[in-house]
Amino acid sequence: MEAKKLFWFMSGQRREFTKKIEASRARVYRVAYAWCHDAALADDLAQDTLSRGLENIEQLRDDTRLIGWLLSILHRCWIDHLRTRRDFESEEMLAELPTDAPGPEAHAMARETVRRVRLAIDALPLGQRQVITLVDLEELSYAEVAEVLGIPIGTVMSRVCRARNALRVLLEPARRENQENQLRCVK
C-alpha cells in the first residue's frame, strides 16, 4: 500500500476507534459506579479512562477488544485513585481491603432491593467487587477478567465464588425481614 493510501486508511480507522471509545462512556461509567458507588467519582474515572484511551489509541489494534482494553485502563485509573487516597503496600493487599461499614443512613436507605444489593456489593473486598461486577454486569469471560485486572484466572474463579458466597450471607437478613413481612401480611 502506498504511503498516502496507508495514511488515509489509518486516519479513517483512527476516527472510527475514536467514535467507538466515546460511545463506550455509558458502559465504562456503569462499571466505575459499581466499583465506587459515587456518581461524581465514577464520572471522573470514566472521563479519565476515555481520555487515556484516546491518548493511547495507537495501542488498540483490534476494536473487538475495545471494551476489555478500556476496562483495563479504568482498572488502572481506579488503582491510581485509591493510591492517592489510602496508604497500602501492594495491589494484593488492596484487593483484600475491607470496605467501610455502612452507616445508619445507609441502613435507612436499605429498604429497596437495589439499595440492599448495592450495600452488599459495597461491603465486598475491592478485588471481589471488581471481579463480580465484570462477570455479572459486563458479562466478561473469566479469561477476559483476568486480562483486564492483570490477575491469574484461578484468582478470578476463587473471587467469583467468594463474592457470591458473601453476597448470599449479606443478603440473608434482608431475606428474613422479607419473609417476616410476608407472614405479617398473611395474618
Q: Cα 25–164–122 angle (5° rounding)?
A: 55
Scanning residues 67 to 126, which ones bind another protein (CB under 8 A)? 113-114, 117-118, 121
Is residue 17 at the binding interface for another protein, with CB under 8 A as the rule?
no
Report the first-to-last Cα separation within the chain, whole angstroms: 80
Which three cell numbers mark 73?
A: 485502563
Q: How many residues in the shown chain lie near another protein by CB under 8 A? A: 44
- Residue 150 Ramachandran class (φ > 0 left, ψ -120 to 50 alpha, else beta): left
Smaller CB separation from another protein, 11 or 165: 165
Scanning residues 160 to 179, which ones bind another protein (CB under 8 A)? 160-161, 164-165, 167-168, 171, 175, 178-179
Smaller CB separation from another protein, 1 or 183: 183
Contacting another protein (CB under 8 A), which of 9, 11, 12, 23? 23
Distance CA 130, CA 41 (A): 16
Stretch that binds another protein, among 35-43, 74-82, 92-100, 101-109 (CB under 8 A): 35-43
- Min. distance of Cβ 138 from another protein in angstroms? 9
Residue 118 near residue 37 (C-beta atoms within 8 A): yes
Scanning the structure block, which residue is given the C-alpha cell 459499581?
Answer: 34
| 153-to-42, 74, 141, 183 alpha-carbon distances in Å | 26, 19, 10, 44
Q: Cα 135–33–168 angle (5° rounding)?
A: 50
> Interface residues with another protein (CB under 8 A)?
19, 22-27, 29-30, 33-34, 39-40, 42-44, 46-47, 113-114, 117-118, 121, 132-133, 135-137, 139, 141-142, 157-158, 160-161, 164-165, 167-168, 171, 175, 178-179, 182
